[in-house]
C-alpha cells in the first residue's frame, strides 16, 4: 500500500534506505530530499510537496513518489500492483503531469485520463546514463575553473537560459540555487582567453552518487567541443572526490548530447518519460 506524507523527514525515515539501495536509479529522489531538507519545503515552488512510499505486506519499502508543485509527480520504478494503487492514492491531487520509468507510464497515464477526463501529452523522453570508464574528448581550446561569487550574475543568466531552452518549469529567482552551487564548488566553467564559454554543474554526493547537471553552452559558442570538455571535467572531479557512481540525464530528442556522453564513457541505465496533463 501507499503511505503518503507531507513531511520530508518522515519520508526520509521510511524510504531512505530504499532510495540509497539503488542510488543510480534514484538519483533525482536523493537530491530532491537533500535539497528539501536543507532549503525547506518550498525550495522548488510555493506549493507543499507530497511524498509517498509503497510498502509491501511485510512493511518493506519498494517504491517511492515525490511531487514538488508545480512540477510533475515523479515515481521510482514500481513493482506489480503499485501503479494501479497509486491512482487511488493520489486521486484527490491536481496533477500537472508525471515523470515515470517508461515501462510503468502507460498504465498510470491511461488510468489517470480515464478517471479524470484529462488529456495527456508527452513532453520529453530522457535517458539516465552512468559513467563506466571516463574517456576524455579530444583537447579543446581553453581550460576549466570552478565558478565563484564573481560569476553569480553570469550563472543567474545561464541557469535561466538553460531551463528555458529545455522547456522546464523553473523558479523565478535562481539566486538561492546559484549561491548554493557556488558554496560547495558545484559549477565548473570552461574558459577561452579568460572568458567563460560553457558550464557544467554537479550535485552534492548522495550514497556515493553524483549527478552531472546543466551542461550549457550559449548557442553562438557551440560546435567547438566546450560542452564535452566541461562535462569530462566535472565527471573527473566527481570521481576524484570519491564518487562511486557518476550519472546524468539526456533528452532522447537530442542526438548530439546522447552521442557525446557515450563517447566519453557514459552508458545507458533506463529511460523515463514526462507526460503533461491538461483538461
Per-residue pLDDT of 234-259, as tens digits, reads 999 999 999 999 999 999 999 999 99
Q: Is residue 74 situated within a structural domain?
A: yes
Given a cut of 80, whether residue 178 has pLDDT beyond it is: yes
Are β-strands 97-101 and 73-75 bridged in parallel, bridged antiparallel, or unpaired?
A: parallel
142's CB contacts (< 8 A; 6+ apart) are: 190, 191, 192, 193, 197, 226, 229
Residue 203 CB neighbour total at 10 angstroms: 22
Query: In Å, what is the CA distance from 222 to each residue of 50, 183, 191, 256?
Result: 39, 28, 13, 11
pLDDT at 171: 59
> Could you tell me if 147 and 95 lie in one domain?
no
Confidence category of residue 170, pLDDT binned at 50, 70, 90: low
Phi, psi angles (nearest 5°) of residue 166: -90, 0
Given a cut of 70, whether residue 260 has pLDDT beyond it is: yes
Q: Is 28 left (phi over 0), alpha (psi -120 to 50) or beta?
A: alpha
- The count of structural domains within the chain is 2
The Cα–Cα gap between 171 and 158 comes to 13
**Average pLDDT for the chain:** 95
Helix (H) or strand (E) holding 240: helix 226-240
Confidence category of residue 140, pLDDT binned at 50, 70, 90: confident
Q: In what order do the strands lie in the sheet with 187-192?
A: 2-5, 50-55, 61-67, 73-75, 97-101, 266-278, 119-131, 245-251, 209-216, 195-202, 187-192, 143-146
Given a cut of 90, whether residue 79 has pLDDT beyond it is: yes
Lowest model confidence (mean pLDDT) among 28-32, 90-94, 109-113, 147-151: 90-94
> Could you tell me if 156 and 203 lie in one domain?
yes
> Could you tell me if 138 and 247 lie in one domain?
yes
> Could you tell me if 88 and 189 lie in one domain?
no
Q: Is 273 left (phi over 0), alpha (psi -120 to 50) or beta?
A: beta
Among residues 58, 90, 117, the one where a domain terminates is 117
Average pLDDT over residues 50-66: 96
Query: In Å, what is the CA distance from 23 to each residue of 29, 83, 104, 142, 247?
Result: 9, 21, 19, 33, 10
> Could you tell me if 147 and 244 lie in one domain?
yes
**CATH, residue 258:** 3.40.630.30
Q: Is residue 27 situated within a structural domain?
A: yes
Confidence category of residue 172, pLDDT binned at 50, 70, 90: low
Given a cut of 80, whether residue 168 has pLDDT beyond it is: no
User: Helix, strand or coil for residue 127?
Assistant: strand
DSSP conformation class of 42: T
> Could you tell me if 264 and 143 lie in one domain?
yes
Among residues 51, 84, 117, the one where a domain terminates is 117
Domain assignment of residue 9, given as a range = 2-117
Q: Is residue 175 situated within a structural domain?
A: yes
pLDDT at 117: 96
Stated pTM of the model? 0.94
pLDDT at 166: 81
> Could you tell me if 146 and 216 lie in one domain?
yes
pLDDT at 88: 96
Name residue, grid cell 540525464.
Answer: 249
> Could you tell me if 109 and 236 lie in one domain?
no
pLDDT at 8: 98
Among residues 49, 83, 117, the one where a domain terminates is 117
> Could you tell me if 113 and 212 lie in one domain?
no
> Could you tell me if 33 and 159 lie in one domain?
no
> Could you tell me if 59 and 87 lie in one domain?
yes
pLDDT at 173: 81
Amino acid at each position: 500500500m501507499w503511505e503518503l506524507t507531507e513531511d520530508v523527514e518522515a519520508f526520509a525515515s521510511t524510504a531512505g534506505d530504499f532510495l540509497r539501495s539503488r542510488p543510480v536509479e534514484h538519483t533525482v529522489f536523493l537530491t530532491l530530499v537533500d535539497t528539501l531538507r536543507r532549503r525547506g519545503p518550498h525550495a522548488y515552488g510555493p506549493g507543499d510537496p507530497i511524498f509517498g512510499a509503497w510498502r509491501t505486506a511485510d512493511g518493506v519499502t519498494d517504491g517511492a513518489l515525490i511531487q514538488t508543485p508545480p512540477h510533475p509527480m515523479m515515481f521510482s520504478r514500481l513493482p506489480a500492483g503499485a501503479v494501479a494503487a497509486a491512482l487511488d492514492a493520489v486521486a484527490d491531487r491536481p496533477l500537472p503531469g508525471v515523470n515515470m520509468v517508461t515501462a510503468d507510464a502507460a498504465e498510470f497515464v491511461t488510468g489517470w485520463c480515464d478517471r479524470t477526463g484529462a488529456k495527456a501529452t508527452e513532453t520529453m523522453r530522457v535517458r539516465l546514463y552512468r559513467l563506466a570508464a571516463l574517456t576524455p574528448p579530444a583537447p579543446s581550446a581553453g581550460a576549466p575553473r570552478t565558478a565563484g561569487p564573481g560569476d553569480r550574475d553570469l550563472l543567474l543568466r545561464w541557469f535561466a537560459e538553460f531551463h528555458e531552452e529545455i522547456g522546464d518549469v523553473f523558479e523565478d529567482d535562481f539566486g538561492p540555487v546559484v549561491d548554493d552551487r557556488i558554496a560547495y564548488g558545484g559549477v565548473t566553467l570552461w574558459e577561452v582567453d579568460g572568458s567563460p564559454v560553457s558550464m557544467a554543474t554537479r550535485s552534492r554526493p548522495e550514497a556515493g552518487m553524483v549527478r552531472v547537471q546543466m551542461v550549457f553552452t550559449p548557442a553562438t559558442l557551440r560546435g567547438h567541443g566546450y560542452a564535452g570538455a566541461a562535462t569530462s571535467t566535472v565527471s573527473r572531479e566527481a570521481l576524484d572526490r570519491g564518487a562511486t557512481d557518476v550519472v546524468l540525464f539526456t533528452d532522447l530528442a537530442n542526438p548530439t548530447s546522447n552521442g557525446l556522453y557515450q563517447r566519453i564513457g557514459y552508458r545507458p541505465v533506463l529511460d523515463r518519460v514526462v507526460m503533461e496533463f491538461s483538461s
